[in-house]
Amino acid sequence: MATGLAAVAGAAAARPATAATNYLILTVEQGANQIQRFSNGTADWNGTPGWYWTAPSNANTSPWYRLSDVKRRLTTRWGAVLVSTSSGTSELGGCVAMIRESDKSVVWSAVVPGNPHAIERIERHGVIVTASSRARVFGRTAGDWQNGGGLTVFVPPTPGGLPSMSFADSFGVDFRGARGVWWDDANELLVATGEGELRAYRLVTDAAGSVTGLALETSLGLVGAGHDVQPDYSSDTIFYTVGGDATNPGRGIWETRLQRDTATGAWGFAPPVRIHDWLFTKSFGRLPDGTSFWQDAPTANEWWSDTIGFSGRADSVRTGARFYKARFWSHALT
Per-residue pLDDT tens over the stretch 54-101:
999 999 889 999 999 999 999 989 999 999 999 988 777 899 999 999
pLDDT of the residue at 135: 62
Q: Which run of H or E residues covers position 127?
A: strand 127-132
The answer on pLDDT for 238 being more than 80 is yes
Which of the 8 DSSP states describes residue 313?
Answer: S
For residue range 185-200, what is the model confidence (pLDDT) as tens digits?
A: 999 999 999 999 999 9
In angstroms, the CA 209 to CA 75 distance is: 17
Which of the 8 DSSP states describes residue 185?
Answer: T
Question: Is the Cβ–Cβ distance between 133 and 148 less than 8 Å?
Answer: no
Residue type, 284: F
Please report, in angstroms and rounded to a whole number, the separation of the first and last CA atoms in the chain: 28
Query: What SS3 state is found at 198?
Result: strand
Question: Is the Cβ–Cβ distance between 229 and 238 less than 8 Å?
Answer: yes
In angstroms, the CA 180 to CA 120 distance is: 9
Question: Is the Cβ–Cβ distance between 269 and 259 less than 8 Å?
Answer: yes
Number of other residues whose CB lies within 10 A of the CB of residue 13: 8
- Residue 196 falls in which region: left (phi positive, over 0), alpha (psi -120 to 50) or beta: left
In angstroms, the CA 200 to CA 216 distance is: 6
Percent of the chain at pLDDT above 90? Answer: 65
pLDDT of the residue at 167: 67
The answer on pLDDT for 295 being more than 50 is yes
Question: Is the Cβ–Cβ distance between 83 and 108 less than 8 Å?
Answer: no
- Residue 165 falls in which region: left (phi positive, over 0), alpha (psi -120 to 50) or beta: alpha
pLDDT of the residue at 138: 47
